[in-house]
Amino acid sequence: MTTPSFGVPYAPPHPGAPYPATGAWNTSQSAGHRQFHTFAIDRPFSLDGGAALRDVTIAFETWGTLNADASNAVLVCHAWTGDSHVAGPAGEGHPTPGWWEGVIGPGGFIDTNELFVVCANVLGGCQGSTGPASPHPVDGKPYGLRFPVITIRDMVRAQVHLADHLGVRRWRSVIGGSMGGMQALEWAVTYPERVASVVPIATCIESSAQQIAWGAIGRRALQMDPAWNGGAYYDAAPDEGPWRGLAVARMIAQVTFRTDNAFNERFGRDLSEANIHDDGLHFFDRFEVERYLDHHGDKLVRRFDANSYLFIGKAMDLHDVGRSRGGATNAMKRITAPVLTIGIDSDILYPAYQQQTLHGLVSGKDPRTRYVEISSPEGHDAFLIDSHAVGREITSFLSQV
Amino acid sequence: MTTPSFGVPYAPPHPGAPYPATGAWNTSQSAGHRQFHTFAIDRPFSLDGGAALRDVTIAFETWGTLNADASNAVLVCHAWTGDSHVAGPAGEGHPTPGWWEGVIGPGGFIDTNELFVVCANVLGGCQGSTGPASPHPVDGKPYGLRFPVITIRDMVRAQVHLADHLGVRRWRSVIGGSMGGMQALEWAVTYPERVASVVPIATCIESSAQQIAWGAIGRRALQMDPAWNGGAYYDAAPDEGPWRGLAVARMIAQVTFRTDNAFNERFGRDLSEANIHDDGLHFFDRFEVERYLDHHGDKLVRRFDANSYLFIGKAMDLHDVGRSRGGATNAMKRITAPVLTIGIDSDILYPAYQQQTLHGLVSGKDPRTRYVEISSPEGHDAFLIDSHAVGREITSFLSQV
């Protein structure tokens, strides 16, 4: 079997056939290697929302080596604006360094000397997987708003094809924070026999009204940018895309990712250096916190597709493990694997009560199931910023499963 | 002396001259009467930010009757999108019913049988007072972005002219929530001899980085609306103003005014009735919480000037009782009056620690000074929604001062 590459049609292996541990996936123990995978090109990929996609591509990266019985595979799931590049320097196809640098690697918290780690860019994304910026099979032009509504379950079902392709019948663990945690939960509920454990971090069993509100407002802001142009901006000059809109949407999210405290400590009421003058107050003068938000908006704009931001955001709003399953309580009963749920005490977007609720629905089934609350001043982003605190809990849990 | 009316030049009375209690201010004990006051028309009104305004008009309303020695006057200060209409039905100049209905009136928590209650539309506002929608004296066209940056201190100094005009040397109390509380604090710090007491509610001594962030993001969103047109939209047709932008800005604020809990209780994950169909998920389908936010955005758009929203928001960001006064601790030492500080335990925008900090800087000076924390699930808006809980504390405090 050859290593799949972008654009090469691929037939899933017979279910249960182990993926040969040739090591071909892995050019370096530390940096991993980006792979592209195409599946189900000959039939449509049916979606939760009623539509279907053709020619679905899923980009993924791997670290470490899959063992002979394919029992050492760990799936890491990324969050909203993440991609498959969990660790390693920036490069082609992954414009930023790894978003969980230090957590994954040889001797790391998720030890790639032992484990085979996989991360896929989600369906709807813009770093190699099929999303709104991908060519529509009918006319070859970007989907834009013709892209169908996708859900977290769709993302997971795409990953199932990837698992089949890799020959992984059962993940040692499925791990993720925020939207990554939603995917971990959907794995455990939809495919209980295919996960030996799951680690949902700073996430929820269903998006709350407040989470929906923040998501919806960000989308409204983005869509107000005239350069968004109803999602048809792919022909725009590089400086004429919906960058202002995407930046404002990102700013809203960025505040919810952090805390009042963290902002006070870091910025207080300092004025931005670029705006100090001696002739009084000006309407467009910025405080330092505004400069920080501008910076984050600007950073995202350079690497992320605005329509992907919209569709993935909508998928998060629609997240509800109980939908069409008789409610969340009922759905969570399907989980048989041990669950390590991690909350963050200062998280204002996914408050710790959500993880406590999650844990309450799975506790008592397996002695290894537990809830850990990380104490951090960083808010939701602590799952990225305080990655060592999170990593230590994962190491301890993985040693038991 | 005649009742001042809109556009009539007015010279402030000699300081200390009591305003004759003719009762002419008061057409009804329950409904009050809107008055317009023009001051300093013959000289510029210098602003905190270095600029100056000419032809400043301040609109205000009163309830009850000023007594002979002008010792029963209470100033109520309104919040961001409020106006002078604290109580009474909607009418000309006040498009919504009173925003603190039930708190003020004969026999009410602030009893107009005893007290003479005044509320002025803030400088920068759009319900009668001079703001960005007012005609620029040079060309008679709306100021728009030519309006100067104003601060809470400017709002208060405009109210000082009003107090002089009314013959009120010393307010029995200055009371306000949110931005109204900022004004109450600035009164107490800047004019300690002119306030017998102050009641700052759900407010702060200085805006935090997070508060600034929310304000700044809302302004960015509003300015992104092409119909805002750099603030020059006053000639636009009624359906072509910057309503989308103002609505999105308002939505951001509205989420911070409430709580996760209140939203969950009220909306959960319900879908908006208007968007139920049987052919799957659609990108523009709304959840109920989105419909609620749309409704709030829409309501504001019908009654509030977008540029006023921007300039008043900026004034709040700039709020800092310590600015040019050697810091907040030093500034707060100037307060001599008893202070009733009211916090709300679920407030995510002005968290209770801010009011506790405020109280910490004034406690120990006067035995009547105290801090009360209202327990409410409603968040910041509890000062409006749970007005009876707030009113009871005010009644008790006013009986002692």
Q: Distance (Å, rounded) from C-alpha A116 to C-alpha A219?
A: 37
Q: Which of A48, A55, A305, A347 is catalytic?
A: A347
Q: Between A224, A252, A314, which is nearest B217 by CB?
A: A252
Q: Give A146-166 pLDDT, tens digit per residue.
A: 999 999 999 999 999 899 989
pLDDT over 70 for what percent of chain B?
A: 88
Has B173 been annotated as catalytic? no
Q: Give B68-86 pLDDT, tens digit per residue.
A: 999 999 999 999 999 999 9
pLDDT higher than threshold 80 for residue B36: no
pLDDT of residue B39: 61
Question: Look-up: residue for tokens 């009757």?
Answer: B65
Mind telling me how many Å the CA of B245 is from chain A's nearest CA?
A: 8
pLDDT higher than threshold 50 for residue B303: yes
Cβ pair B283:A226 closer than 8 A: no
- In chain A, the domains with their CATH numbers are 33-207+321-398 (3.40.50.1820), 211-315 (1.10.1740.110)
Nearest CA-CA partner of B311 in B132, B146, B154, B184 = B132
Q: Between A268, A283, A317, which is nearest B314 by CB?
A: A283
| ipTM given for this complex | 0.89
Q: Which of B178, B197, B308, B346 is catalytic?
A: B178
Q: Distance (Å, rounded) from C-alpha A19 to C-alpha A13?
A: 9
Specify the pairing of strand A198-201 against strand B198-201: unpaired
pLDDT higher than threshold 80 for residue B379: yes
pLDDT tier, A273 (very low <50, low <70, confident <90, very high otherwise): low
B298 close to A (CB below 8 A): no
Which residue intervals of B179-287 are DSSP H helices? 179-190, 209-224, 243-257, 260-266
A375 close to B (CB below 8 A): no
Cβ pair B213:A269 closer than 8 A: no
B221 close to A (CB below 8 A): yes
pLDDT of residue B274: 59
pLDDT higher than threshold 90 for residue B339: yes
- The three-state secondary structure class of A335 is coil
**Interface with B, mutate which of A220, A270, A275, A296 (most B CBs under 10 A):** A220
pLDDT of residue A78: 98
Cβ pair B224:A248 closer than 8 A: yes
pLDDT of residue B34: 63
**Using a CB-CB distance cutoff of 8 angstroms, which residues of chain A are in contact with residue B207?**
269
pLDDT of residue B94: 72
Full DSSP string of A225-277: SGGGGGG--TTS-TTSSSHHHHHHHHHHHHHHHS-HHHHHHHTTTPBPGGG--
Q: Between A206, A217, A286, which is nearest B269 by CB?
A: A206
Q: How many CB atoms lie within 10 A of CB A15?
A: 8
B190 close to A (CB below 8 A): no
pLDDT tier, B4 (very low <50, low <70, confident <90, very high otherwise): very low
Note whether B55 and B9 are within 8 A (CB). no
Instruction: Please give the biggest Cα pair distance in chain B.
Output: 74
Nearest CA in chain B to A268: B209
Nearest CA in chain B to A50: B280
pLDDT of residue B2: 29
Helix crossing, B243-257 with A209-224: angle to 10°? Answer: 160
Nearest CA in chain B to A254: B213
Nearest CA in chain B to A150: B281
Residue B209 CB burial class (10 angstroms; 0-12, 13-18, ≥19):
buried
Has B178 been annotated as catalytic? yes
Nearest CA in chain B to A269: B209
pLDDT of residue B277: 73
Mean pLDDT on B333-343: 97
Mean pLDDT on B360-389: 97
**Interface with B, mutate which of A154, A257, A281, A295 (most B CBs under 10 A):** A281
pLDDT of residue B90: 83
Q: Which amino acid is at B373?
A: E
**Using a CB-CB distance cutoff of 8 angstroms, which residues of chain B are in contact with residue A221?**
221, 224, 248
Q: Which two tokens stand for residue B137?
A: 């004296």
Cβ pair A263:B50 closer than 8 A: no
Among A115-119, A247-251, B51-55, B190-194, name the one with the lowest average pLDDT.
Answer: B51-55
Q: Is this structure's pTM higher than 0.95?
A: no
pLDDT higher than threshold 90 for residue B281: no
B246 close to A (CB below 8 A): no
Residue B278 CB burial class (10 angstroms; 0-12, 13-18, ≥19):
exposed
Which A positions 193-212 lie with beta carbon below 8 A of chain B?
A: 206-210, 212
